[in-house]
Amino acid sequence: MIAPERAERLALFQRRLGYYFTAPQRLDRALTHRSYTAETAEDTGDYETLEFLGDAALGLILGTYLYERYPACNEGQLSQMRSRLVSETTLAGLARQIDLGDFLLLGRGEERSGGRHKDSLLAASLEAVLAALYLDAGLQRTQDVFLDCYAEAIERRLASPQGQDYKGLLQQKALGAFGCVPTYQTVREEGPPHQKTFHVRLSLTPEYDCIGVGPSKKAAGQHAAQQLLGLLC
């Protein structure tokens, strides 16, 4: 039985998530850390096994999204994109967008150590929430809720160079090896205005020419430069 005060907090979280659970106890468990159950007499369980299921659901949701969103990308490119999205740092950032940490049940020690703000804890609890969603509503609804919340954040993450300026690195390497710099040309745009995919051709020499794909011209150029650096190394 969920206490009235806790039920109010869960209702607020569900409004932020954009989904109301038919079985709110699933969500309650997904937001309960093992440190809380260890310090209380409540036998509601914690999110650890849900995290396992949520990890699998997240992989399928993102894999499907990337496969449909970027049909020109090959398996290696899609795998690289997915690995960026399922990183602990990325998932923690997504959790913070809906203030997930504010709704966690933590033990006193975990609370004092700043558990609500730890990347590892936030990432794990977001996966647990996805598992609770999956159990409550099925995969398609879980995918819809997740993408409604995070599609824009996903595209921003894919567009960022992840701390690496591949175009700058390639220019330095090209000057040293060939005495010239690469050129970039947008060869195709596809998709609706709010969700475009760009194809950018990178030309260095007749032997070194490739096309990058991304949600912006900048991202597509970075992708092309990353590919060519792989060929030159």
For the annotated catalytic residues, the residue numbers are 55, 127
Question: Please, which residues bridge with residue 188 across strands?
Answer: 199
Indicate the SS3 state at residue 138.
coil
Indicate the SS3 state at residue 202.
strand
Indicate the SS3 state at residue 36.
helix
Q: What Å distances lie between residue 29 and 24, 78, 157, 198, CA to CA?
A: 9, 33, 29, 42
- Reported residue count of the chain is 233
Structure tokens of 152?
């824009």
d(CA 176, CA 37): 60
* Cα 211 from chain centre: 24
185, containing H or E segment = strand 183-190
| Identity of the amino acid at 143 | Q
Lateral strand order in the sheet of 197-205? 183-190, 197-205, 208-214
- Hey, what's the torsion of the CAs at 31, 35, 41, 42, to 10 degrees? 10
